[in-house]
C-alpha cells in the first residue's frame, strides 16, 4: 500500500513522539485560527488544515509521520496547483495565505521532534497575524487572541512535561505573562506614532465585490442582498434620546437616467452650488443630527437620513442631495451630518425638468396608455401619484424576495401579467410611469430602517436593508418622497427587512425556509440579548480600537499635553518609559523571588558562624550535608540539633519557594542555637518537609546537588 510506503512504522526504531498534552494545546490553538480562513479563503484550504490535524492525532501514537522528501514535494506542488486553479493567480493575500496554510498542514504531518514542535508554534503565531490581515472583526480578533494564548500554553506545557496534575499551571503561567505584557502593549498602542489608517486594513482585492450597492439599479440587484448580514453602517443620534419620527430612509445615491426597469446615476456627480444650497436652506426645517460609522465598501457612497443639509469634510453634496466621498472608502469612516426631514422646496430649471421627464422609446404602448389614463382622469400631479399608488394596491401586486427574472424592457410583463417584485421593481416602474404621465421623477437608492440596539444606543443597518424608492417633483412642495413598495407591503416602511420578514412569517403572509426550532431560538430573549451585546462590543471595538488612527491619537495626545513633539521625540520618550517600566518590573521580580531564598542562606551562614565559635569551622568547598556530619562529630553534645537544623536548611534551600511559617521557625531556632537544649526542631522540620513536598520537585534535587554547594 502507498500508505505503508510513505509512512513506515519501525518496530525497533520508532520516532520519538511529541507529548500528547502539548499537542492537544497546539491543535486547539490552530483550530481558533480557522474562522477567518472560512470567511475569506476557498473552502478546501481550511478543510485540508482540519484533516491534517485529525491525521496527526491518529499518526502520532503509532509513530507514523510524513517522511520522504519526494512525497512532500509532490504534495506541495499539488497544493500550489490547486491554489492557482482556485484563484486564477498566485498573487495576492488570499493565495499567499492559502499557500502558507497548505505548508503548515504538511509540517503538521511531518513534525515529530522538539525542534519541529517549536517551529509549528511559531507558524501558528504567523497564522494568527495572517488571520488579522484577513479580518479585524471583533469575534475574529477574540478567536485569534485565544489562539495566540493557547500557542503560548502549548509551548509552556511542552517544557513542563506531562506530569500528573500539570493541566492548570501552564494556563496560570500564560495568564501571568499576558497580564505582565498588557501595560506595555497599552502604552505602545496609545502613544506610538502611526499612519492615518488605524488598525482596519484589508489587502484583499475582491473584498468589496459582494456589497451590491451600485450606481445602477436593475431588476434583482437589490433582491440579491436580502439574505446578506454584512453591516453597511451604524448610526447614532447625538444629543437626542429618542429615535427619529417616522420611517428612516437613508439616502445613498439619486438616479436620473431611465431605461425602463433599469436606472443609472450620473457617472460624475455634480456638486450643488452655494446659491442652490442657500435656496434649499430656506425651505428646510425639522433637522436632525446623525453620527455615522460607515463600513468600508470600496466605493464613494456616503449615507445620511433623508436629505443631508450640508456636506461633511472629505465629501461633496451632489445634485439630488446625497453625499459623495472625494476618496474611495477603503477603511471605516466616521462622520457627522445634519439632515432635513422635510421636502426639498426647490424649483426645477428647464434642463433639470427635461432630464427628469426623459423616457426610453422602447416602452410599449400598453404602458404608455396606462400612464395617459391617469393624466386624462385628473391632470393634477398629486392626483396622478395617488392614482398610480391605488393601481398597485388594487391590482393584486405582491412583494417577494424571489420575483423571478426580469429584463429592462419587461415593464408590460410586470404591470399586467406577473405583478410580483421587490423594491427595485416597484421603484423603477413607478418612476417611469410618472415620467410618462408628465410628472418629473427620479429613483433614490439607499437603506430603509435599521435595528436599534438598546445596549449600545445605535441603529445597525445591514446590506439586507438596501432599498429603492422614488421622488416626484410637485408644484407646491418640490421633490417629495413616494415609496410604491409601501403600497404593496405597508409594514416594510416602518421596519428593517429582517423584522418585516419575521412579522410576515408570524402572520402567515410569507413562508419560512428555516425549521421551527431555529425560528423560535432566533426569537428567544436570551439569544436576542446575547446578539445585541455582541453587536455592542463589536461597535466599541470598531470605534475605539480599529478607528484609533493618527487623527484620534493627536486629539488624545493634545488632551494629555503631549502634542506637537514630533514622531522621533515621541518614540524616544516611549522607549525611555518602556525601558524604565521593564527595569522596575525585573527589579521587583528579582527581589520577590530572591528575598526568601536569600534569608534562608543568611540564616544558615549565621548558624555556621555560631558553630565556628564552638570550634567547628566550615570549609568553603564543604556542602551542608558533609559539614553537618563533621560538625556533629566535633560537637557531640550538639550533634542532634546540628543535624536537624541542617536538614531543615536543605529542605528550605532546595524548595522552589520556602514556606513562610517554616522559615520563621527556622530563624527562631537558629537564633536560639547556642545554650542549653530548649527546643525540639522536629515540629518545624516536619512542616518544612511538608512544604517542600507540596512543591513539585522540591526535594528531588537534594543529595545529588548538596555536596557541590560551596
* Grid cell of 185 as nine digits: 502593549
Residue 178: CB partners within 8 Å, gap ≥ 6? 149, 152
What is the H or E stretch that residue 249 is in? strand 249-255
3-state DSSP call for residue 437?
coil
Mean pLDDT check: name the lowest of 8-22, 88-102, 541-555.
Answer: 8-22
Alpha-carbon distance of 631 to 608, in angstroms, equals: 10
What's 216's DSSP letter?
A: E
Burial of 41 (0-12, 13-18, 19+ CB in 10 A): buried
Is the pLDDT confidence value at 205 over 80? no
Taking residue 658's Cβ as centre, other Cβ atoms within 10 Å add up to 22
Alpha-carbon distance of 571 to 179, in angstroms, equals: 23
Cβ 151 vs Cβ 121: under 8 Å = yes
Q: Please report where in the chains the cell 502611526 appears, as a residue.
A: 194
Report the relative pairing of strands 466-474 and 441-448 from DSSP bridges: antiparallel
DSSP E strand boundaries for 303-386: 304-305, 307-308, 315-318, 322-325, 333-340
Q: Name the nearest CA neighbour of 292 among 332, 247, 249, 342.
A: 332
3-state DSSP call for residue 89?
coil
* Grid cell of 387 as nine digits: 392614482
Q: Please report where in the chains the cell 492525532 appears, as a residue.
A: 57
Alpha-carbon distance of 698 to 597, in angstroms, equals: 13
Q: Return the ∠ at Cα 156 (arms to 695 and 35), rounded to 5°.
A: 140
Mean pLDDT of 353-371: 91
Backbone phi, psi, residue 334, to 5°:
-120, 125
Q: Name the nearest CA neighbour of 297 among 261, 244, 253.
A: 253
Q: What is the pLDDT of residue 129?
A: 92
pLDDT category of residue 34 using cuts at 50, 70 and 90: very high
Alpha-carbon distance of 279 to 604, in angstroms, equals: 94
Alpha-carbon distance of 648 to 662, in angstroms, equals: 9
Q: What is the pLDDT of residue 614?
A: 85
Q: What are the structural domain ranges in the chain?
A: 2-163, 216-527, 588-706
Cβ 102 vs Cβ 48: under 8 Å = yes
* Grid cell of 176 as nine digits: 501571568
Alpha-carbon distance of 446 to 670, in angstroms, equals: 85
Alpha-carbon distance of 654 to 706, in angstroms, equals: 9
Tell me the whole-structure pTM to 2 decimals.
0.69
What is the H or E stretch that residue 189 is in? helix 168-191
Report the relative pairing of strands 398-399 and 420-421 from DSSP bridges: parallel
pLDDT category of residue 9 using cuts at 50, 70 and 90: very low
In angstroms, how far is CA 165 from the centroid of its own chain?
A: 35
pLDDT category of residue 52 using cuts at 50, 70 and 90: very high
Terminal CA-CA length for the chain = 62
What is the H or E stretch that residue 443 is in? strand 441-448
Handedness of CA 587, 591, 593, 594 (dihedral sign): positive
Taking residue 532's Cβ as centre, other Cβ atoms within 10 Å add up to 17
Chain segment 303-323, per-residue pLDDT in tens: 998 888 888 888 999 988 899
Is the pLDDT confidence value at 622 over 60? yes
Chain segment 54-89, per-residue pLDDT in tens: 998 888 778 788 888 899 899 999 999 999 999 988
Q: What is the pLDDT of residue 517?
A: 59
Q: What is the pLDDT of residue 101?
A: 94
Cβ 253 vs Cβ 267: under 8 Å = no
Alpha-carbon distance of 334 to 462, in angstroms, equals: 16
What's 61's DSSP letter?
A: G
Chain segment 487-523, per-residue pLDDT in tens: 888 866 556 566 656 555 555 555 555 455 556 666 6
pLDDT category of residue 661 using cuts at 50, 70 and 90: low
Q: What is the pLDDT of residue 522?
A: 62
More confident residue, 595 or 389: 389
Is the pLDDT confidence value at 234 over 90? yes
Q: What is the pLDDT of residue 499?
A: 62
More confident residue, 275 or 648: 648
Cβ 478 vs Cβ 505: under 8 Å = no
Q: Name the nearest CA neighbour of 295 among 447, 490, 507, 128.
A: 447
Amino acid at each position: 500500500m502507498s500508505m505503508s510506503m510513505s509512512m513506515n512504522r519501525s518496530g525497533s526504531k520508532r520516532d520519538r513522539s511529541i507529548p500528547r498534552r502539548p499537542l492537544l494545546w497546539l491543535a486547539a490553538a490552530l483550530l481558533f485560527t480557522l474562522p477567518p480562513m472560512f470567511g475569506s479563503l476557498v473552502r478546501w484550504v481550511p478543510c485540508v488544515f482540519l484533516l491534517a490535524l485529525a491525521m496527526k492525532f491518529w499518526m502520532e501514537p503509532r509513530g507514523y509521520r510524513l517522511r520522504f522528501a519526494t512525497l512532500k514535494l509532490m504534495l506541495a506542488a499539488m497544493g500550489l496547483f490547486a491554489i492557482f486553479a482556485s484563484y486564477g493567480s498566485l498573487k495576492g493575500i488570499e493565495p499567499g495565505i492559502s499557500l502558507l496554510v497548505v505548508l503548515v498542514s504538511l509540517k503538521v504531518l511531518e513534525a515529530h521532534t522538539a525542534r519541529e514542535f517549536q517551529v509549528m508554534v511559531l507558524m501558528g503565531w504567523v497564522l494568527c497575524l495572517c488571520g488579522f490581515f484577513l479580518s479585524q472583526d471583533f469575534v475574529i480578533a477574540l478567536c485569534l487572541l485565544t489562539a495566540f494564548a493557547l500557542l503560548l500554553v502549548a509551548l509552556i506545557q511542552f517544557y513542563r512535561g506531562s506530569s500528573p496534575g500539570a493541566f492548570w499551571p501552564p494556563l496560570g503561567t500564560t495568564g501571568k505573562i499576558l497580564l505582565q505584557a498588557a501595560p506595555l502593549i497599552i502604552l505602545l498602542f496609545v502613544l506610538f506614532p502611526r499612519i492615518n489608517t488605524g488598525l482596519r486594513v484589508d489587502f484583499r482585492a475582491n473584498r468589496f465585490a459582494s456589497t451590491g450597492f451600485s450606481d445602477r439599479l436593475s431588476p434583482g440587484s437589490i433582491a440579491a442582498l436580502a439574505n446578506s448580514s454584512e453591516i453597511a453602517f451604524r448610526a447614532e443620534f447625538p444629543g437626542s434620546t429618542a429615535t427619529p419620527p417616522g420611517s428612516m430612509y437613508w439616502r445613498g445615491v439619486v438616479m436620473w437616467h431611465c431605461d425602463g426597469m433599469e436606472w443609472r446615476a450620473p457617472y460624475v456627480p455634480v456638486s450643488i452650488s452655494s446659491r442652490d444650497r442657500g435656496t434649499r436652506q430656506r425651505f428646510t426645517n425639522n433637522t436632525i443630527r446623525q453620527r455615522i460609522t460607515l463600513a468600508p465598501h470600496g466605493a464613494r457612497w456616503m449615507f445620511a437620513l433623508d436629505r443631508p443639509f450640508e456636506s461633511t469634510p472629505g465629501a461633496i453634496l451632489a445634485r439630488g442631495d446625497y453625499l459623495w466621498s472625494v476618496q474611495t472608502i477603503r477603511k471605516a469612516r466616521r462622520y457627522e451630518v445634519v439632515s432635513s426631514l422635510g421636502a426639498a422646496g426647490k424649483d426645477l430649471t428647464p434642463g433639470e425638468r427635461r432630464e427628469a421627464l426623459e423616457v426610453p422609446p422602447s416602452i410599449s404602448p400598453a404602458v404608455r396608455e396606462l400612464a395617459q389614463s391617469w393624466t386624462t382622469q385628473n391632470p393634477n400631479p398629486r392626483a396622478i401619484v395617488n392614482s398610480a399608488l391605488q393601481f398597485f394596491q388594487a391590482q393584486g401586486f405582491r412583494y417577494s424576495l424571489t420575483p423571478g427574472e426580469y429584463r429592462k424592457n419587461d415593464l408590460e410583463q410586470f404591470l399586467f401579467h406577473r405583478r410580483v417584485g421587490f423594491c427595485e421593481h416597484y421603484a423603477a416602474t413607478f418612476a417611469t410611469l410618472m415620467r410618462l404621465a408628465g410628472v418629473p421623477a427620479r429613483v433614490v437608492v439607499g437603506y430603509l430602517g435599521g435595528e436599534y440596539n438598546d445596549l449600545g444606543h445605535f441603529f445597525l443597518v445591514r446590506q439586507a436593508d438596501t432599498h429603492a424608492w422614488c421622488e416626484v417633483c410637485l408644484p407646491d412642495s418640490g421633490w417629495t418622497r413616494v415609496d410604491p413598495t409601501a403600497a404593496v407591503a405597508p409594514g416594510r416602511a416602518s421596519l428593517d427587512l429582517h423584522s418585516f420578514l419575521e412579522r410576515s412569517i408570524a402572520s402567515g403572509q410569507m413562508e419560512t425556509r428555516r425549521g421551527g426550532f431555529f425560528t423560535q431560538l432566533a426569537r428567544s430573549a436570551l439569544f436576542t440579548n446575547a446578539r445585541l451585546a455582541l453587536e455592542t462590543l463589536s461597535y466599541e471595538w470598531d470605534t475605539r480600537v480599529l478607528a484609533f488612527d493618527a487623527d484620534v491619537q493627536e486629539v488624545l495626545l493634545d488632551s494629555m499635553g503631549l502634542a506637537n513633539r514630533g514622531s522621533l521625540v515621541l518614540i524616544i520618550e516611549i522607549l525611555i518609559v518602556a525601558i524604565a517600566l521593564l527595569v522596575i518590573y525585573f527589579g521587583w521580580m528579582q527581589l520577590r523571588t530572591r528575598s526568601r531564598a536569600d534569608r534562608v542562606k543568611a540564616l544558615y551562614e549565621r548558624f555556621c558562624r555560631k558553630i565556628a565559635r564552638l570550634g567547628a569551622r566550615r570549609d568553603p568547598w564543604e556542602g551542608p550535608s558533609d559539614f553537618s556530619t563533621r560538625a556533629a562529630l566535633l560537637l557531640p553534645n550538639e550533634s542532634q540539633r546540628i543535624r536537624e537544623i541542617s536538614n531543615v536548611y536543605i529542605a528550605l534551600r532546595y524548595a522552589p519557594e520556602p514556606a513562610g511559617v517554616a522559615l520563621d521557625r527556622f530563624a527562631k531556632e537558629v537564633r536560639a542555637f547556642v545554650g542549653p537544649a530548649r527546643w525540639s526542631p522536629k515540629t518545624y522540620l516536619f512542616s518544612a518537609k511538608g512544604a517542600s513536598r507540596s512543591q513539585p520537585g522540591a526535594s528531588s534535587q537534594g543529595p545529588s546537588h548538596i555536596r557541590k554547594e560551596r
